[in-house]
A = this chain, B = another copy of it.
Amino acid sequence: MILRIQHDGPVPIYEQIVAQVVYRVAAGAAAPGTNIPSIRDTAKQVLVNPNTVARAYQELERQGVVVARRGMGMEVAPDAVARCRELRLDLVRQRLETALREAVASGLSLPDIRRLVDEALVAINHRPRTKEKN
C-alpha cells in the first residue's frame, strides 16, 4: 500500500494518511484480516516521524477500520469495508456540501452552480492529479 502525501499544503499529513487508507479499504485494496504496513514502515515510506503515522492509525482504530495489537501490527477489521464505504461517503458529502453552501451563499444561480460543477468534473478527468490506483 503506497501512500502519496503532500508535505506542504494546508491539510495535515495524518489526515491525508487516514483518508487514503479509508479510500483503499473502501476500494477493496486491503482485505479484512490482513495487516496494514507498520507504523515505522509507513513512516519511512512517507518520510515522516512515526508519531505522525501513529496518530493517523489511532484515528483509524477509533473509527473501527483497524484493530491494533501490540507487537503484532494493525489488522484490518472484519467489517472495515462497509465502514470505510460509509466513512468515504460521509467525508465526501460533507466537503461537497460545504463548497455548495458557499456557492449558494455567493448569490450564484443554481444553473450557474451546476455548470461550474460540470466544468470542474471534465477538467479533473482531463488532467487528474490523483486518480485512484489501487
Contacts and interface: CB of A to CB of B under 8 A. Distances in A.
A8 interface: no
Q: How large is the interface on A (under 10, 10 to 19, 20 to 34, 35 or more residues)?
A: 35 or more
Interface in A97-134: 97-108, 110, 113, 116-117, 119-121, 123-125, 128-132
Interface stretch (A40-48, A55-63, A73-81, A85-93): A85-93
Contacts of A106: 19, 23, 26, 88, 91-92, 132
Chain copies in the assembly?
2
Contacts of A92: 99, 102-103, 106, 108, 113, 116
A117 to B, nearest CB: 6
B91 A104 contact: no
Given A26-B107, A88-B107, A106-B23, A120 B97 contact: yes
Nearest to A130: B105
A18 interface: no
A70 interface: no
B104 A95 contact: no
A36 interface: no
Given A93-B116, A116-B92, A117-B117, A124 B98 contact: no
Interface of A: 19, 23, 26-27, 88-89, 91-93, 95-108, 110, 113, 116-117, 119-121, 123-125, 128-132
